[in-house]
Structure 1
Amino acid sequence: MNSVILQIAAKYLKWLLIVFAVLALLRGHNNPGGGFIGGLMAGLAIVYRGFAYNAFQVKEELQDRPGYYIGGGLFAIFLSFLPSLFAGKTIMTGLWVKIPTPVGEGIKLGTPFLFDIGVFFAVIGVTLLFVFSLTQKQH
């Protein structure tokens, strides 16, 4: 599509969608759906740019990176399983580490957040793969 209004909107909406995607990821790591919803929003931010400009141009800029997003996400999910196994607990048992900070009680990081980050990137990759497969030229 060659709409100037859509192209200008895509520049600003991309970053707005990515900010909301990260907020959904951070808010949702203690509640269901944070990584999935955030990944969909981040993937759609890239897809929206393809609608505004050209899906083939966006696909070439990413250089078929959906596979890297999926692979990185699955690797992070796999890494989230390891701490519970090394601790002698059942797989996917949530473990947390408290990082002290000068202000406040500190930051609690846990394996569920690492799992959500993996889901976040895997969903971005699957969303891009799905949309790019729809835009392939048919022979």
Structure 2
Amino acid sequence: MNTLIFRTIAPVLTALMLLFSVFVLLRGHNEPGGGFIGGLIAASALAIFGIARGVGSVRRAVVFHPLAIAGTGLLMSCCAGLLSLFFAVPFMTGLWVYPVVFGVEVALSSVLLFDIGVYLVVVGAITSIALALEEREVE
């Protein structure tokens, strides 16, 4: 199923899916969604791009090795949990800061750090699996 139409539309579809995955990630604090679902959407986008353009194109687009991305996400998630211990509150308690950026108060939390970590773990792990399967199929 590697038609000209598919190869042409895959980069556009991938970009839209990655943008939507970030929307789902950021929306997940107050609504359904979050790091896991956003990560699955992003990994699906990269899988579609890999089917259309090949494994080498995905590896060049991702820049870092997928397992390094997953490891970074795991480190971020662990740091989000351990951060609460420094403030003498129970493990995994959400902590909030409100910095002012360009005159607008932005609410940042350790929960967001945890969600971004989960997002990166899912993207890295699923992309690594998909690339390994695609490489095996090509040979």
With the shorter chain as reference, the TM-score category is 0.7 to 0.9
* TM-score calculated relative to the size of structure 2: 0.86
1:29/1:35 contact within 8 Å kept: no
- Displacement of 1:124 after TM fit? 0.1
2:59/2:65 contact within 8 Å kept: no
Q: Which residue of 2 aligns with 1:89?
A: 89
Per-residue CA deviation, residues 14-51 of structure 1 (Å, 9 max, x unaligned), is: 11001100100110033454101111111111111111
Please list every run of 5 or more consecutive structure 2 residues that lacks an aligned counterpart in the other structure.
none
Aligned-residue CA RMSD (Å): 2.2
Please list every run of 5 or more consecutive structure 1 residues that lacks an aligned counterpart in the other structure.
none
Secondary structure of 1:116's counterpart equals helix
Equivalence map 1:115-134=2 (5 Å): 115-134=114-133
* TM-score calculated relative to the size of structure 1: 0.86
Identity percentage over the alignment?
37
Larger CA deviation: 123-132 vs 30-39? 30-39
Task: Give the length in aligned residue pairs.
Answer: 137
1:38/1:120 contact within 8 Å kept: yes
Larger CA deviation: 57-66 vs 18-27? 57-66
Q: Which residue of 2 aligns with 1:45?
A: 45
What amino acid does structure 2 have at the position aligned with 1:83?
Answer: L
Q: Which residue of 1 aligns with 2:35?
A: 35
Any runs of at least 4 consecutive aligned residues in structure 1 with deviations exceeding 4 A, and if so which? 101-104
Secondary structure of 1:135's counterpart equals helix
